[in-house]
Amino acid sequence: MTPLIKPVAKERLPLPTATSATDADVPRIVALNNQFSADGLTLPRTSEFVRTHLSDYRLVRGPDGSIWGQVALDEYSPSLCELVSLAVAPAAQGKGLGRHLITAAVDLANRRGYPQLFAVSLADTLFLGAGFMQSSIDQFPEKIWRYRAISRSELSIGKKFLFVRDLPPTPPRKPRKTRSRRPGVRGPRK
């Protein structure tokens, strides 16, 4: 009689925390992003674009410090931003990093007070599973204008979808109490 062997469920390790990018990351961010641009999965990015948007990037790193995945926000106006440059290194795919990076971008957009976040992608299942709703690009004339301004339209590459996620309103921040640096002088009284 053969003993029954139960299959062991694959244990998913906790995902690394998404962190801010640094100047030293710029070449690796550009390389990872542009690895997917030839297939139309991302728009090509330059070092200049990444440096300008460095505070908008979130990275997930492997144990060796390499960049496993990245995502960024691109602001159109104080009330509108796009999730861009979502890329996961081929060796790190299948671990849930795409969804993890989307969550990091949503958190960043929410902390910055954006009421809505949108993305254009082929990955409909990924974005729908992350709480986005499919929408029409006509809702965002700013995006249409940008497509017309670039030489290679994402829309001409293949059937991409536009996804939108409403973000919860953030309460206005309370002013911080100020303290003078001079000894014996206090901040404003209540």
Domains and CATH numbers, the chain: 19-166 (3.40.630.30)
Contact 47, 30 (CB under 8 A): yes
Binning pLDDT at 50, 70 and 90, where does residue 148 land?
low
Q: Is residue 13 helix, strand or coil?
A: coil
- Sheet containing strand 57-61, strands side by side: 19-20, 57-61, 67-77, 80-88, 116-121, 161-166, 133-135
Report if pTM > 0.85. no
Contacts of 87 (CB under 8 A, 6+ apart): 32, 33, 35, 36, 41, 42, 69, 70, 71
Binning pLDDT at 50, 70 and 90, where does residue 9 land?
very low
Q: pLDDT tens digits, residue range 121-140?
A: 888 889 999 999 998 877 87
Geometric angle at alpha carbon 161, from 155 and 164, rounded to 5°: 125
The span from the CA of 190 to the CA of 76, in Å, is 39
Q: pLDDT tens digits, residue range 79-114?
A: 889 999 999 999 999 999 999 999 999 999 999 999
Contact 85, 136 (CB under 8 A): no
Q: pLDDT tens digits, residue range 160-172?
A: 788 999 998 866 5
In this structure, the strands spanning 67-77 and 57-61 are antiparallel
